[in-house]
Structures are given as structure tokens and as C-alpha cells.
Structure 1
Amino acid sequence: MKMPEIIKQILSVVPLAVLLLSLGAAGISLGLLQANTDNGVRCFFFVSYAQAMNSSLVNYNVPTCQLSIASATIATICLALLTAIELISVSFQIYVKRLIANIIQAGFFVGSILFLFITMIVVSAGWGKTCATYRNITSSGGTSNSAFNIDCTGPQYISDVGPFAPNGADFITAAVFAGVGAVSAIGAFCYLIVKLMRRQKDDNEATPKN
């Protein structure tokens, strides 16, 4: 096998590898969010001072957690479909040339990137706001009236009993993996665009001119 052919085969599996990386990152982010919010039922994002001092509250801003989980779910589905398409393409050497199919692929890419960024922003900003609120309360010598003071980088304990969700480290990890998934998806999308442009150029050169 000639060296250019080996390089060509290696390059052909690059987008699949990147998509698998992105899919794995999105899946990990989704799993961590589901585990630490009871599938969006219990939420601790964007907790304000008034909410932290309200002893009757046990959930905070539930729609924000549901948004992060929904975004991560949609992104994971889009990436799973893209990975399946690329796997079929690499395994059976089937290359889609129809414009509508390429547009659908592009839509899946844009959707996955957008929703992963939404997940990253909501989780990082939401948990950051909560941590800042509890940090301000404790630094001023106060004590929140909620069940526990938030540990931003670990699980929660109530009177040394625990651990309980949410785990701050898991939220941080979920945000990081959502970002990694988004960046990886951008890389795969750019590679797809270059590949399509190259294929179009080759087709034009192969077309006989009158």
C-alpha cells in the first residue's frame, strides 16, 4: 500500500474519532447532570440570597436544570446520529453527495454545538452564582436557612451526615465536558466542510469540458 493511500485512510477516520470524542463528552455531561439533579427534579442553580435564606425552599430555579438536561440530551442525540452516519460512511465507503443530506448533517452539527454551549453556560453560570451566594453569606458571618451550606467542589453534608447530591465537582466536570464536546464537534464540522469542498473540486475536475 502506498504511503499516500495510508494517509488517506487515516484521515478518513479522523472525523469519526472526533465525533466519538464529542459524543462521549456530551454523554458524560448529561449523565452527571441527571445524577446530581434527579433528572431535573432537584435544582441548585442560580440560587439568590433571598432563596438561600428561605427555609421553606428545597428546590431552586428548576427550569434552569431542566434546560441544561434538555440541551445536553438534544446534543447527544444529534451527535449519535452524526456518528452513525460517519461510521456507515467509513465502513462501507458510502459518501453522500446530495445537497439535502449535507444540509441535514450541517443542521445536526449546528444543533449539537449550540446545545452543548447552552449546557456549558447554564451549568457553569448557574453553579457559579449559587457558590457566590453561599460564599457571600458565610464570609459576612451569616448562616443560610437552607438544609446545608453548599460545598462548591464536592458532595453535600448535613450535620456530618452524607454525602448528598449535588456534587459540586460533578457540575464543574459536566460544564467542562460540555465545552469539550462542543469544541470537538466544531472541529469535526470544519473537517466535514473541507472534505465536501475538496470532493466538489475533484468532481469538477473530473467532469469533461466541452
Structure 2
Amino acid sequence: MPRASTVKQVLSLVTFVILLLSLGAAGTSLGLIRTNTNDGVTCYFFITYAQAMNSSLVDYNVPTCKLSVASATIATICLALLTAIELISVLFQINIKMLIANIIQVGFFIGSILFLFITMVVVSAGWGKTCATYKNITSSGGTPRSFFNIECTGPQFFRGELLRGPYQPNGTEIITAAVCAGFGVFLTSGAFSLLFMQQLFRVRPQNQRFQSDGHEIALK
């Protein structure tokens, strides 16, 4: 079997690749959310029947959009730090042995998973609620502003005498943001599992090596 040091290097490299993919997913989710909510200022999440029928309202449930932007931002920062740590480990073969450093690294993992999960839930549930509300209203005759109805899987258009658009939010991009956040949760959880595997190899005594039969013996 391969030496423990070789296995650790392979695990570290795989962890880095997974974290890089997760960082890309989180960054994509953050970018799409910011674009479609004007950095959380213009929000169309969790629109209820009463809100949709109130023609004086312009922005809806802004705190939920700000929450999604904030959670995606925190997750992206945590993943960027984790990716940088793992890159240093791969390039310079530096193992983090300090207990405090390990705790911080675990904290970044938990934070990334938690905030990506929050992002996924808020975006998917918020947009789903809005789509369900407008679908119900449209089937019953429309809204006081019947020229504007939510397009759940595409950009928005104002339907008056002239068709104007496209405008944000783009339903496809919002759905993609939720999917990317969920994909990031999956990838980061996998990288977190690999971290534990790396720790198992790091705590093995230095006076042990792998034999070809799969057993370990102490070096004389």
C-alpha cells in the first residue's frame, strides 16, 4: 500500500479541488443573487397575496433578500479562506498541527455549509412562494397591475400597450443561484469529510509505515 505521506498529499489535493469547485459555486450563487436583488435592495421573495394585490408596494420583504446576500457572502469568504489554506498545504506540504488552527479550520467549514444552506433555503423557498402567489392570482384574473406578472423561469416584462423588458429578477438566474448554493453545500460537506480523513493520517505515530500486506509495523 502507499505510504501515509503519499495518501495525505492525495487527500489534500482532492480536498483543494473540491473546495475550489465549491468556491466557484458559492461565488456564482452570490453574484446571481446580488444581480437579481440589486444587492438586496429590490426583493421579490416570499410575496404574499396581500402584498401582490397592494399596488402601492414596490419592494417586498427586503430583509430576506439581504439575508440571502449576507449568507452567500459569508459562505464565499469562508470558502476562499479554506481554499487558500488547502492550496498552501498542497504547494508547500504544510500540515496544520496546532489545535487552535484546526478548530478555526473546522469553524470555516461549518460556517460555509451553514450559510450556503441558509442561502439555498431562502432563495428557493422565497422564489417558490412568489411564483405560487402569482400563479394563483393570474388564474383568478390578475392583479391591479395586471401588465406585470412574475415570470418564474425567465426575465420580467412589462405588458402594457407596448411590451417592455427584459428586467430583473430573472427567474432562471434565481433558480440557478439556489442550485449552486445547494451544490456548494454538497461539495463542502465532501471536503469536510476528507479533512477528517487527513487528520486520521496526521495523528498516526511517526514510527509507523505501511507494508504491502496492508498491515502496519513499528520501525526499529
- Give the TM-score, by structure 1 length: 0.92
* Gap regions ≥5 residues in structure 1: none
Task: Report which of the two structures shows the higher radius of gyration computed on alpha carbons.
Answer: 2
Task: Report the aligned-residue RMSD.
Answer: 2.0
1:194 Cα offset (Å): 1.3
* Gap regions ≥5 residues in structure 2: 210-217
1:147 Cα offset (Å): 6.3
> Counterpart of 1:196?
199
> Counterpart of 1:82?
82
Kept in 1: contact 2:29–2:177 (CA 8 A): yes
- Structure 2 distance, partners of 1:58, 1:14, is 47
- Structure 2 distance, partners of 1:130, 1:58, is 14
Q: How many residues align?
A: 205
Judged with a 3 Å threshold, the aligned counterparts in structure 2 of structure 1 residues 204 and 45 are, in CA distance, closer, same or farther, namely farther
Of all paired residues, the percent bearing the same amino acid is: 67
1:12 Cα offset (Å): 3.2
> Counterpart of 2:170?
167
Partner of 1:201, secondary structure, is coil
For 1:36, give the aligned amino acid. Answer: N
**Higher fraction of helix:** 1
- Structure 2 distance, partners of 1:105, 1:146, is 51
Deviations 1:153-175 (A, max 9, x none): 00000022100000000110000
> Counterpart of 1:60?
60
1:204 Cα offset (Å): 7.8
Kept in 2: contact 1:75–1:116 (CA 8 A): yes
Partner of 2:169, secondary structure, is coil
1:201 Cα offset (Å): 2.4
- Structure 2 distance, partners of 1:37, 1:18, is 29
1:198 Cα offset (Å): 2.2
> Counterpart of 2:215?
none
